[in-house]
Amino acid sequence: MANSDPEGVDGVRMTWNVWPRTKLEASKCVIPLAASIAPIRPHSDIPTLPYAPLRCRTCSAALNAYSRVDFLAKIWICPFCYQRNQFPPHYAMISETNLPCELYPQYTTVQYTLQRNPDPNNPSNAPQLQPVFVFVLDTCMIEEELVFAKSALKQAIGLLPEQALVGFVSFGTQAHVHELGFTEMSKVYVFKGSKEISKEQVLEQLGLPAAGRRLTAGYPKGLQNGYTNTVVNRFLLPASDCEFTLNSLLDELQTDQWPVQAGHRASRCTGVALSVAAGLLGACLPGTGARIIALVGGPCTEGPGTIVSKDLSEPVRSHKDLFKDAAPYFKKAVKFYGSLAKQLVDQGHVLDLFASALDQVGVAEMKVAIERTGGLVVLAESFGHSVFKDSFKLVFEDGEQSLGLCFKLVLIKGYKVGVQVDVAWGERLKGIYKRNSSVKLSFSFFNFSFSGMLEISCSKEIKVQGIIGPCTSLEKKGPNVSDTVIGEGNTTTWKMCGLDKSTCLTVIFDLSSTDQSNVPETVNPQFYLQFLTRFAA
């Protein structure tokens, strides 16, 4: 019978289920040692534990079913670094017949729910972080295209969950931040398109305080839903409250009114507009999930992120130009989007790009910010084309085919969840392959999460080369980090900004080059891997 669930409970699939012992043997494998992992894929057989995992004091791997336990001395030995760890007092009842759930051999994956740091004075006052969507709309388009784009936006806003917060930025020669909370008339903050602008400058110009890291000292006063009141009331409003304002604003919104010289491209400040959107999101508390959804109709020609001059006699750089290093704007633009990526990753926010144009729009330059934040790219030739329309709708729709960005479930307040997976291999010579999975308990309360962190622990013989997929290396060096990097490497810890239950990453491993296989006492009979994901749901 065909196995319909090859990843099993753990959500892990390996290229090899039996691993070579040495670097030499590994080098003979044509297919690399790799694992595709779905960090938070739900499964009804994963138990949920209402306490924090015990971590090894040397390597910080979590206590698991492969740890050796001395019940008399109340000690567990870490299978990764062989550190002997004392059990804390609340594990005093542990015995061979009274095991905590994480030590049951069948629970290779467990989930822990942790309390978010509550307000010590009023624990029920912990803010519930609502997801934020900031739409960034290019207005340098022909009238017909802008009508298509506006209608898609209206549809998307109608599909968002009522409590999701929405912000709106439009841009052409300049970037405009619309104050949606000011309903008496349309009020706009204008940012010059030609000048690079920092997050601090954006917040200052909008009159917003930076959120900073005040979370640890309890929640600052004047917070509503985890945001400063000024952001919530002025720029980011619940979808249900601002749908009408935003719809009438879109009805009135015209194409960019700045004159375009004959023989020239429109002046389009995509870079500044995205910086401004990212800066606005900088006013949200750490841990807030947010996406910038950019609808772009052509190349950036103004200010930071420019990929081509305004003069139409100069064509947009081609593959050949990039290959020959003959694209004069390329490096500077990539550097700019690289720093935007860093800001977004620090904030834990995602950039999605929907571009519709007959010519190029500069995805080669922008892609670093999209890839590192786990965003989406859709390219089409028109905002009226079904490639754009259907894709855009699918992103926001809540259904079988949806990408899960929109959620209708009530999220459990202030909980943090971790997933742990262990896989063990038998000794190669004996060819034993062991992987356990079994039944119990269920969970289904999360459907959606915006950002998370992945840590990988592995036996000392194993090196991590890197990860291919929507994540960013946090450059946490250690003995298990390989010198050769594939994808996002040089680390054993990664940040994932656009994390959801269908997120899948491929981890590439290598074996340590020190060949100790002929020294019998150093031979490790089994290799272990642990994937630990922290995320807010």
The residues that touch Zn ion, with contacts defined as CB under 5 A, are: 56, 58-59, 61, 78, 80-81, 83
* Gyration radius from the chain CA atoms: 26
Name the residue nearer to Zn ion (CB basis): 87 or 383.
Answer: 87
Task: Give the angle subtended at the CA of 531 by the CAs of 91 and 451, to the nearest 5°.
Answer: 105
Q: How far is the CB of 86 from Zn ion (least distance, A)?
A: 13
Q: How far is the CB of 508 from Zn ion (least distance, A)?
A: 23
CA distance 501 to 357: 32
Q: How far is the CB of 61 from Zn ion (least distance, A)?
A: 5
3-state secondary structure of 140: coil
DSSP assignments along 112-134, one per residue: EEEE----SS-GGGPPP---EEE
Instruction: List the one residue out of 496, 348, 345 whose CA is nearest residue 419.
Output: 496
Q: How far is the CB of 82 from Zn ion (least distance, A)?
A: 7
User: Are the beta carbons of 38 and 7 closer than 8 angstroms?
Assistant: yes
Name the residue nearer to Zn ion (CB basis): 78 or 253.
Answer: 78
Which are the contacts of 82, defined by CB distance < 8 A and separation ≥ 6? none
Q: How far is the CB of 57 from Zn ion (least distance, A)?
A: 8
Name the residue nearer to Zn ion (CB basis): 24 or 52.
Answer: 52
Name the residue nearer to Zn ion (CB basis): 78 or 499.
Answer: 78
Name the residue nearer to Zn ion (CB basis): 437 or 512.
Answer: 512
CB-side exposure of 107: number of CA atoms within 13 Å? 23
Q: How far is the CB of 527 from Zn ion (least distance, A)?
A: 15
Q: How far is the CB of 108 from Zn ion (least distance, A)?
A: 18
Name the residue nearer to Zn ion (CB basis): 58 or 386.
Answer: 58
Task: Spell out the SS3 assignment of 221-238.
Answer: CCEECCEEHHHHHHHCEE
Name the residue nearer to Zn ion (CB basis): 59 or 296.
Answer: 59
Name the residue nearer to Zn ion (CB basis): 478 or 525.
Answer: 478
CA distance 191 to 523: 63
Q: How far is the CB of 427 from Zn ion (least distance, A)?
A: 22
Instruction: List the one residue out of 239, 232, 244, 250 whose CA is nearest residue 137.
Output: 250
The token pair that represents 42 in the structure block: 């739900």
The token pair that represents 400 in the structure block: 């079988």
3-state secondary structure of 192: strand
Name the residue nearer to Zn ion (CB basis): 78 or 496.
Answer: 78
323 CB neighbour count, 10 Å cutoff: 9
Instruction: Specify the pairing of strand 290-296 against strand 132-138.
Output: parallel
Q: Provide φ and ψ at 139, rounded to 5°.
A: -110, 5
Q: How far is the CB of 463 from Zn ion (least distance, A)?
A: 17
